[in-house]
């Protein structure tokens, strides 16, 4: 059974406040997405397997541990791109594979427009998307990553609506979900309230 983790930390609360603020300009918005992505990834990677490795320090040979599986980051375009550099900084050997979805404005259904996966799927994948609203994009993204052949999948979102969490949890019971905040509800346009507006537009300055 997948778990749902909502980060509870003063730094998360602090950086979320700036992220949500409508007066935060795009360059600062991107910095906040980056900071929150680092905090999310720290938590989401806590269960990664390790393998032993011998290391020679300046004084002696010693037994250490290093990550023991191939890791893929799957940012969902566009807004997920705002998260992937930060997570890759924490896991430099991670591979980055891309999925592109946009929400049709009238139906709010995700439309796929890009997929770049290799013939050899990683063992673990972290799907990155700042916003989990209706859950349509996340469900489709998880579906693609499962069909690719990945065994262990985690979804990392900065802000989630209860509706989106419910949809993903029901459709993909084996997927772990990590979020910085669970907000109140979706409005009539399927935007998260209180939310932060359109994450992609705020990251890429296309409002
Ligand atoms: C946003 C967001 C998610 C999706 C969430 O992307 O980044 O991918 O909406 O909504 P859902 O849970 O209802 O599917 P958007 O479609 O605005 O595209 P963008 O990233 O290119 O701005
Ligand atoms: N996509 C966003 O960027 N924001 C929302 O609130 C919902 C979907």
193 C-alpha to center of ligand 1: Å? 15
Active site residue 103: yes
Q: The tokens of 197 are what? A: 């507006």
- The answer to whether the CB of 101 falls within 8 A of the CB of 134 is no
Note whether residue 186 is domain-resident. yes
**What's the CATH code of the domain at 114?**
3.40.50.2020
pTM metric for this prediction: 0.98
Please report the pLDDT score of residue 1 as a whole number.
86
Active site residue 201: yes
CA distances from 109 to 7, 81, 135, 140 (A): 28, 20, 10, 10
- Residues 34-72 pLDDT 10s: 999 999 999 999 999 999 999 999 999 999 999 999 999
User: Active site residue: 107, 151, 184, 206, which one?
Assistant: 107
Active site residue 198: yes
| Total domain count, the chain | 1
Residue ID of nearest Cα to ligand 2 atom 3: 198
- The answer to whether the CB of 152 falls within 8 A of the CB of 145 is no
Looking at the CA of 167, name the nearest ligand.
1
Note whether residue 56 is domain-resident. no
- Residues 129-164 pLDDT 10s: 999 999 999 999 999 999 999 999 999 999 999 999
Note whether residue 90 is domain-resident. yes
Q: Which structural domain range is residue 79 located in?
A: 4-50+65-204
Looking at the CA of 207, name the nearest ligand.
1
């Amino acid at each position: 059974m997948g778990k749902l983790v909502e980060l509870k930390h003063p730094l998360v609360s602090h950086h979320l406040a700036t992220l949500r603020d409508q007066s935060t300009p795009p360059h600062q918005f991107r910095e906040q997405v980056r900071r929150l992505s680092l905090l999310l990834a720290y938590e989401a990677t806590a269960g990664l397997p390790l393998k032993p490795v011998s290391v020679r320090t300046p004084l002696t040979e010693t037994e250490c541990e290093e990550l023991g599986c191939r890791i893929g980051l799957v940012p969902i375009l566009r807004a997920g791109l705002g998260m992937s550099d930060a997570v890759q900084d924490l896991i430099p050997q991670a591979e980055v594979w891309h999925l592109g979805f946009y929400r049709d404005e009238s139906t709010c259904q995700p439309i796929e427009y890009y997929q770049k996966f290799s013939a050899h799927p990683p063992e673990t994948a972290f799907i990155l998307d700042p916003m989990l609203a209706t859950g349509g994009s996340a469900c489709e993204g998880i579906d693609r990553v499962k069909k690719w052949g990945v065994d262990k999948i985690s979804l990392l979102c900065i802000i989630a609506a209860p509706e989106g969490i419910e949809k993903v949890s029901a459709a993909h019971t084996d997927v772990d979900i990590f979020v910085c905040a669970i907000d109140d509800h979706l409005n009539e346009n399927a935007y998260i309230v209180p939310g932060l507006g359109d994450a992609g537009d705020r990251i890429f300055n296309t409002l």
